């Protein structure tokens, strides 16, 4: 919906061309100036180049943007040399570092006397009725958002502002690639909004088609492990509230046998998954900051004609979903590009 609302007003402009079935191979440089991109058609295998009259703008996300910079010769010099990148354009140690994300800890509860999507999706009749309802009325389970309930909370009384976010679904499963459980279930996912753990994205080959390593380093700090343990304890208190009593909730994951900080932190890692909010791998900062990749105008340090405009530029993750902040970055970045162009 958002994509359509942004695209439709401008899709007939003669200076806009959207290419699909095309992969970027690398950024083209003349010295330290970005002058275009090299592309490959996934249908024909043809390799071709597009030259930029003014700037190249990367908006490929917290994994794609640092990976593309690295294979193009911008990143930690020693890493790029060991991975076979032929030309070092700019040694920027921060490219691909500072990766962080909201880890959702998926506590699952078995319910009694409740109808959840588990029963409907595990029934042929239920599946047929859900499909029919959507086909006729565009309503029902197939029209729902990923989560049906959300809440912000404090992990401890000392937290000045909410540092936890809940996403609750009337369904349960072992993992997203597994079928729904055969029993009535509820998933109460909770995430630490301000994680202190930091990971990285690093190229494994000079060929962009070879996936990079993505190491989020979830729960690698004492603070994050403590918040994880406290978040599960809070979830238990919520599920023990009188309003849930008619449904006799029984903890399925992680399991009531886990009670210590150490046990709960470990199990948080076992039942936790990404909530798809990665940020920080091309973070903003001053040129003297060795970990910074872009300046306050989103221009890549040490080169000309190149900007990064996506969630990778965030120094720290926002205390909530990253979609709206990413849109704000795009809107602000577009304004900066126009302002700087007029200034030249």
- pLDDT of 331 over the 90 cut: yes
Quick check: 261 and 225 in contact, CB under 8 A?
yes
Write the DSSP string, 129-147.
HHHHHHHHHS-SGGG--S-
- Give me the residue spans of the domains in the chain: 2-100+278-343, 103-201+217-274
| Least confident span in 9-13, 199-203, 227-231 | 9-13
For 92-103, the pLDDT digits (tens) are 999 999 999 999
Beta bridge partners of 272: 105
**For residue range 167-195, what is the model confidence (pLDDT) as tens digits?**
999 999 998 889 999 999 999 999 999 99
- Residues that are catalytic: 277
Span 134-148, average pLDDT: 92
Domain 2-100+278-343 has CATH 3.50.50.60: yes
Binned at pLDDT 50, 70 and 90, residue 1 comes out as low
Say if domain 103-201+217-274 classifies as CATH 3.40.50.300.
no
Q: Taking residues 45-71, what's their average pLDDT?
A: 97
Q: What is the mean pLDDT of residues 236-247?
A: 97
């Amino acid at each position: 919906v958002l994509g359509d609302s942004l695209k439709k007003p401008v899709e007939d402009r003669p200076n806009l061309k959207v290419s699909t079935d095309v992969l970027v191979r690398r950024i083209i440089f003349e010295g330290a100036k970005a002058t275009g991109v090299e592309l490959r058609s996934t249908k024909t295998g043809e390799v071709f180049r597009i030259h930029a009259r003014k700037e190249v703008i990367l908006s490929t996300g917290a994994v794609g943007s640092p990976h593309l910079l690295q294979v193009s010769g911008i990143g930690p010099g020693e890493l790029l040399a060991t991975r076979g990148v032929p030309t070092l354009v700019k040694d920027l140690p921060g490219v691909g570092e500072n990766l962080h994300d909201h880890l959702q800890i998926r506590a699952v509860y078995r319910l009694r006397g409740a109808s959840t999507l588990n029963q409907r999706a595990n029934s042929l009749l239920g599946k047929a009725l859900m499909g029919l309802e959507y086909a006729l009325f565009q309503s029902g389970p197939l029209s729902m958002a990923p989560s049906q309930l959300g809440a912000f909370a404090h992990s401890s009384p000392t937290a000045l502002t909410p540092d936890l976010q809940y996403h609750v679904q009337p369904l349960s499963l072992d993992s997203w690639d597994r079928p729904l459980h055969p029993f009535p279930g509820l998933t109460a996912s909770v995430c630490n909004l301000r994680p202190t753990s930091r990971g990285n994205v690093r190229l494994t080959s000079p060929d962009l088609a070879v996936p990079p390593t993505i190491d989020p380093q979830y729960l690698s700090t004492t603070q994050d492990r403590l918040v994880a343990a406290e978040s599960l304890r809070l979830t238990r208190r919520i599920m023990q509230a009188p309003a849930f009593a008619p449904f006799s909730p029984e903890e399925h994951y992680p399991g009531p046998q886990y009670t210590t900080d150490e046990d709960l932190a470990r199990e948080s890692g076992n039942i936790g998954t990404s909530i798809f909010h990665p940020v920080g791998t091309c973070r903003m900062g001053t040129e003297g900051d060795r970990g910074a990749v872009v300046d306050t105008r989103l221009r890549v340090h040490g080169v000309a004609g190149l900007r990064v405009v996506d969630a990778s530029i965030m120094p720290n993750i926002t205390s909530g979903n990253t979609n709206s902040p990413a849109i704000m970055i795009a809107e602000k970045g577009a304004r900066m590009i126009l302002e700087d162009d007029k200034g030249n």
